[in-house]
Chains A and B, each alone.
Chain A
Amino acid sequence: MKQITKILFLITVIGITSCSPKITSNFTNPQPKLSIDENVALLDIDNSLPENVVKVGELRFQDSMFSTDCSFNSLMNQARVEARKNGANIVKVINKKKPDLWSSCYRLKIELYKYDGDVSSLNQYELKLD
């Protein structure tokens, strides 16, 4: 009986704490933080990067096995928050794995860039509420 209680407790703890995707980051050239009023462009695989951009770092979103908050829109929103914190105004998806038999999550490899031009004029992904 004690064993069952322990297992239930463990599942509960995992259920509560492990619903976010695993994020790994590598910032090679962090820039001054951006304010909330500064636009950040979200570029999907098909959207091309403008010229003269400075690479700030990389992000990788993986399935933590218990992830539930891992839709494409949610991950792109989290990437935008990380971009602002590190002074990047372009979020560029360079590798995208859609949910499949092995994972119910999007898995993304993202590069972050700083661009001195107007990012709102770039052809970009339009974020939606899930």
Chain B
Amino acid sequence: MKIIIKTLLLSTILLLSSCATIISGSRQNVEINSEPTSAKVYLNEIEVGTTPVQKSLKRNQEYRLVLKLDGYQTYETKLEKKFNAWYIGNIAFGGLIGIIIDPITGAIHKLKPEEVDGNLKKGTTYDTKGGKLFVKISMDIDPNSEKVGQLEKSE
């Protein structure tokens, strides 16, 4: 009986020790929004929809994010992988397995918009809630475009 309890205890410790993988998972939900909306969103040059758009992205990869909208300048930045603090849980709780598993699953990382000299690209804001990344981009008007008219809704 004691052996069963010890085995169960050991299994529980080992299973619960991959902190970041259990808490965060190997993928991260990312929501991309823009002002104005309806901009085409490209991740690694693949069109994924128009803003607002939500994707589940692998944490162990970096993504090049591009937004295109007629009359506005093309916006470009990177989603970089940064250190996920949940990984420290492995050290705090003695999870030797987790120290190996979390880097393999990619849970050791979390995605964040690129920063240059500690600053985000102009027009970019982001927030993280419950592990989900919300990125909002304010697009600049293209100075080379010219407004020729505007459609109005008829009553």
Contact = CB atoms under 8 A, between A and B. Distances in A.
Interface of A: 8, 11-12, 14-16, 19, 36, 66, 68-69, 73-74, 77, 80-81, 127-130
B8 interface: no
B60 interface: yes
Contacts of A80: 45
Contacts, number: 52
5 contacts: A15-B100, A19-B60, A69-B58, A69-B60, A127-B46
B45 A15 contact: no
A30 B57 CA distance: 33
Interface size class of B (residues with CB under 8 A): 20 to 34
B12 to A, nearest CB: 21
B3 to A, nearest CB: 26
Contacts of B53: none
Given A15-B108, A16-B83, A36-B66, A130 B102 contact: no
Contacts of A74: 61
A68 B48 contact: no
A66 B76 CA distance: 30
B48 A11 contact: no
A8 B91 contact: yes
A129 B99 contact: no
Interface in B72-129: 76, 83, 87, 91, 96, 99-100, 102-106, 108
Task: Please classify the interface of chain A as helix (H, G, I), strand (E, B), loop, or mixed, using the class held by over half of its residues.
Answer: helix
Given A19-B60, A130-B61, A12 B100 contact: no
A129 B96 CA distance: 32
Nearest to A127: B46
A66 B103 CA distance: 9
A74 B63 CA distance: 10
A68 B43 contact: no
Given A8-B91, A16-B83, A69-B60, A128 B46 contact: yes
B11 interface: no
Nearest to B100: A11
A130 B58 contact: yes
